[in-house]
Amino acid sequence: MDKARLEEAVQSYAKDLEADREGYEKDLADRRERKAYYQSWTMDRMARMTEEEFLDYLSRLWAMRIWGNKEYAVGKIIEGNGFPAVRKHLASLLWGEEPIEKRWDVFRGAVKGIGPATMSELLCHTHPEECVLWNRRASVALEKLGVPGLPRYDYQLDGKKYRVLSNAALSISAELKRQGLPDSDLLAVDYFIWEELQDEAPLTHMHKKPLGEASPLVPPPELKENPFIHNDIRDKLAEIGTWLGFSTHTEKKVADGSKVDTVWEATIGNMGRVIYVFEVQTKGSIDSLILNLLKSLNNPAVQGVVAVSDAPQIETIKKHSAGVPGLREKLKCWDFQQVLQVHESLAQVNEAINGLGLVPQGF
């Protein structure tokens, strides 16, 4: 970490706080309120949490600003996992006795629809002395401070990496303390990096490749080795579809013998449904993927099928499907890196638009 740059940034932050004591006290009160609320949800209390309370619990998070209709977003999490399972795994993530590395990985593997931004924010609010809040802004800040090995995409952020990032944030916390700032836990660090280390647009930082550029001919090794990438892409496809106005599902049966990763569905007046099917290929048999997509086309509402993978596997999928009548006409292929980039862009668009408050939440 660039200690000189960190020291300079903290000095600037301290001056800004002194010049705006009213704003500082407001932020301090906000942090105290957030920590008090989330820390009040102990292991025992979470065991009694209702679905209505869960909606309020998630709706308060900054990570939920990308959703205009938070009730819909939370409902999809409940639908996709079952509320008892979500509640159980959430309590274990926040209050379990296993190391955070283990709890993080277990939660990510078990729960659909809750990603690292939401997980880390809950952890930071609940355990602000040890858990960092990780999002685009935090990534920009730590890169500016010269922290190496930062994850670019969610699937790269496993429990071990989360521990490393939290430790880096603790170094920032230590500098805040050294320079006499009394409020210096990791939630305070989040406020600091938003104020002092954000002069580069987050999407400029995250997306240094043009959206239309395909992935390298040699895929990143974690595509087949990382245990989270399949589920991460699956869930992001569902979120993209939702933001585009489709009704979406994951792990959905669309025909006999065909359960697919993600489905986009639209109802056209009183004429019926239009369905688009997505299958994510990270490892395993490509012939099995082709067979599954072909079976899904037995459903007459399925108008198109999309295979999502890296560039080399996409070429293989195209070759294998070229001789399959009925599939080759409707098969599209989508590079997984483009999916991640599109999701990131749409997330920022939705966050900005929802921040305008044009549509009320309703009752």
Residue 13 host element (H or E): helix 3-19
pLDDT at 240 over 80: yes
In this structure, which amino acid lies at residue 156? Q
* CATH of segment(s) 222-352: 3.40.1350.10
Q: How far apart are CA 51 and CA 53, in angstroms?
A: 5
Output phi, psi for 293, to 5 deg.
Answer: -65, -40
- Give the DSSP letter string of 311-352: HHHHHHHHHHHTT-TTTTTTEEEEEHHHHHHHHHHHHHHHHH
Hey, what are 49's tokens?
């949490």
Q: Tell me the sheet residues that pair with 259.
A: 253
CB 234 within 8 A of CB 261: yes
Q: How far apart are CA 72 and CA 355, in angstroms?
A: 17
Least confidently predicted of 137-151, 224-238, 243-257: 224-238
Least confidently predicted of 39-48, 80-89, 99-108, 214-223: 214-223
Q: How far apart are CA 304 and CA 296, in angstroms?
A: 10
Q: In this predicted model, what pLDDT tens digit does every residue of 151-176 receive, in sequence order?
A: 988 888 999 999 999 999 999 999 99
Give the residue extent of every domain in the chain: 3-206, 222-352
Place of tokens 């569905």: 265
Q: What pTM does this model have?
A: 0.80
Of 134, 197, 135, the C-alpha closest to 167 is 134
pLDDT band at 39 (very low <50, low <70, confident <90, very high): very high
Q: Mean pLDDT over residues 280-302, rounded?
A: 88
Question: Taking the alpha carbons of 169, 174, 180, 182 in that order, is the dihedral positive or negative?
Answer: positive
Q: In this predicted model, what pLDDT tens digit does every residue of 12-38 receive, in sequence order?
A: 999 999 899 898 899 899 999 999 999
Burial of 194 (0-12, 13-18, 19+ CB in 10 A): middle
Contacts of 359 (CB under 8 A, 6+ apart): 68
Hey, what are 269's tokens?
């007046």
Three-class DSSP category at 88 = helix
pLDDT band at 66 (very low <50, low <70, confident <90, very high): confident
- Residue 31: C-alpha distances to residues 15, 83, 190, 340, 352 (Å): 20, 28, 10, 31, 23
pLDDT of residue 225: 58
Q: What is the mean pLDDT of the chain?
A: 87
Position with higher pLDDT, 30 vs 198: 30
Position with higher pLDDT, 218 vs 37: 37
